[in-house]
Copies of this chain bind each other. A is one copy, B any other.
Amino acid sequence: MTHPQPLLRLLRKLQATSELSEREVQAVCTLPINIRSYPANADLLRQGDQPTQCCLLVEGYLCQFKIIGSGRRQITQLHLPGDVPDLQSLHLPRIDQYMASIGPVVVGFIPHTALHKLALEHPGLTGCLWRETLLDAAILREWIVNLGARDAQGRIAHLLCEQALRFERIGGGGRKGFPLYFNQSQMAEIVGSSVVHVNRMLQRLRVEQLIAYGEPEHNKNLRILNWEGLEEAGDFHEDYLH
């Protein structure tokens, strides 16, 4: 009821990169979908799961991560509304990482069978969905560069730039700022460093007048005070977001 047409989110995303025919639009909008809500920090998928459906994020935020032997968590992907985080499960049956909510979420499950049928009947849509997984991969590559080649401050600046532009696409944020939906401890699990250090680097970005955060009057959004400066600090180039 609060989500009259969750599939519109998916449709809009696909249309962002390709023209869809009337027939294809119809096919997407009539996909069977099963809406569900989860509280914060709920595991939606675990390593080894073999789901028979894909998950469309409708409201809220999801992350995917792995846990290594030492118990340390590394977040590998972040997802905003409209994403299908586990689209890969269509062709790789066994899940190799956790998927969990950050804050409360609303998701819609779409059966694999329906998606396979869609792909078979609409080859154009197959390419569209394939492209979505390739866009994810482009972000993964950039994260590798971020973790491997930049220092902590640069990693954080880069992450903030990326999130800003991803919000710009779906609305709700942009180069001026966006809702900071993860906390500093989660940010540390993204950029591969310690909470303490993340905190210090954020403060540095703040002293350098690049960002502002934690302001009750701005509803705790992260504000970007100097976009070009933040880009430079994070050596950020948006081309990888295609």
Instruction: Determine whether A216 belongs to the interface, using a CB cutoff of 8 Å to chain B.
Output: no
Measured between alpha carbons, how far is A190 from B145 in the docked complex, in Å? 10
Which of B47, B147, B150, B242 sits near A144, CB closer than 8 Å?
B147
Query: Is there contact, CB below 8 Å, between A127 and B88?
Result: no
Instruction: Determine whether A31 belongs to the interface, using a CB cutoff of 8 Å to chain B.
Output: no
- Min CB distance, A20 to chain B, in Å? 15
Given A135-B92, A138-B92, A138-B96, the answer on whether A74 and B239 have CB atoms closer than 8 Å is no
- For A133, the chain B residues whose CB sits under 8 A away are 130, 133-134, 137
Residues of A within 8 A of B (CB): 47-48, 64, 66, 68-70, 72-74, 76-77, 88, 91-92, 94, 96-97, 119-120, 123, 126-127, 130-131, 133-138, 140-145, 147-150, 189-192, 235, 239-240, 242
Query: Is there contact, CB below 8 Å, between B145 and A68?
Result: yes
- For A119, the chain B residues whose CB sits under 8 A away are 123, 126-127
- For A143, the chain B residues whose CB sits under 8 A away are 144
Closest 9 CB pairs of A and B: A148-B192, A147-B147, A140-B140, A74-B149, A69-B235, A91-B131, A74-B148, A137-B137, A74-B145
